Amino acid sequence: MNAEMNLRTQAATAVSPIDFAAIKQRQQATWASGDFAIIGTTLQIVGELLAESADVRAGERVLDVAAGNGNATLAAARRFAQVTSTDYVPHLLEKGALRAHAEGLAVQFEVADAEALPYADGTFDVLLSTFGSMFTPDHLRSAREQLRVVRGGGRIGLANWTPVGFLGDLFRVIAAYIPPPAGMPSPMLWGTESHIVELFGPQAADIRCVRRNFNFRYRSPAHWIEVFRTYYGPTHKVYAALDSQRQAALTANITALLERLNIGGPQSLVVPGECLEVVITKQ
């Protein structure tokens, strides 16, 4: 609760209107840097669990929003749904298309902005997003778009990192070196039940939230840092922006965080990352 209150307080301290367009442009460059697909494939189990919780069925029209390299996309297509996979980073969609082709899955891949989806009202039976739409700058606009393109009685399934979990801690460490834009609401708010109700509640017939852990499994803290520094956009960008002395300090701080949360013992790294799985049924 304290973590959520801190996030809301930070967002409320804005002294000027937030330039969402400029923020989105920088975010797009961040996610296009490195190669998120290397990280994304390790998260596949989250897409599978979300497809089950959202009860994706054969023949249903499914939209994956901010799909990255397609974890929820593949999960839905494996259940014989008619899937459209979208992201605003074309390179990630190309990686998703390669994965779908390798499995012989028929998926439509389209570049699209999660805050301005190019589809008519009520086009889809199900909308999914795993650690994607939570990073949109304008939370309310993104939620309204998701609700708009899903039919009445359809479902929205989301997997969002929580502010009290590992990713929340990691982003606070990063923010000490490169602060987020002033007044911008934290993406981690999407990992709180109250924010989900605030965004979706007025048009929801039902909202179910379950807290789960995704285990980050790597050889060591140094291995995790090597992979994320090279391939994960946010950490890739922050390292690139720092001089060698501050890079070393950041590495020390992340190492300490990983060692504190590691449940894998001295010979391995297993760090639980808490996420909020959300299934919304639209009125």
Q: What is the mean pLDDT of residues 77-90?
A: 97
Confidence of residue 18 (pLDDT cuts 50, 70, 90): confident
User: What DSSP state is assigned to residue 186?
Assistant: P
Whether 2 has a pLDDT exceeding 80, the answer reads: no
Q: With 60 as the cut, is the pLDDT of residue 129 above it?
A: yes
pTM: 0.91
Integer angstrom CA distances of residue 128 from 153, 173, 213, 281: 15, 29, 18, 12
Closest CA to 193 of 154, 158, 225: 158
Domains in the chain: ranges and CATH: 2-214+274-282 (3.40.50.150)
CB atoms within 10 A of CB 266: 8
Q: What average pLDDT does this structure show over 120-127?
A: 98
- Radius of gyration from C-alpha coordinates of the chain: 18
Q: What value does the mean pLDDT take over residues 204-217?
A: 98
DSSP classification of residue 230: H
| Torsion, CA 119, CA 121, CA 125, CA 130, rounded to 10 | 60
Strands, DSSP E only, in the chain? 61-64, 82-87, 107-111, 124-130, 150-161, 204-218, 269-282
Each residue's pLDDT tens digit, 157-167: 999 999 998 99
| Nearest C-alpha neighbor of 7 from the set 136, 191, 142 | 191
Query: Which residue has 């449940």 as its token pair?
Result: 263
Q: What one-letter code names the amino acid at 228? A: F
- Distances from the Cα of 108 to the Cαs of 60, 94, 95, 171, 198, in angstroms? 14, 11, 13, 33, 32
Q: Specify the pairing of strand 150-161 against strand 204-218.
A: unpaired
The DSSP bridge pattern shows strands 82-87 and 107-111 to be: parallel
Using alpha carbons, select from 86, 55, 62 the residue that is nearest to residue 206.
55
3-state secondary structure of 243: coil
Task: State pLDDT tens for residues 111-120.
Answer: 999 999 999 9
What does the mean pLDDT of the chain come to? 93
Burial 147-157 (b: 16+ CB within 10 A, else e): bebbeeebbbb
The secondary structure element, H or E, covering residue 255 is helix 244-261
Contact 72, 57 (CB under 8 A): no
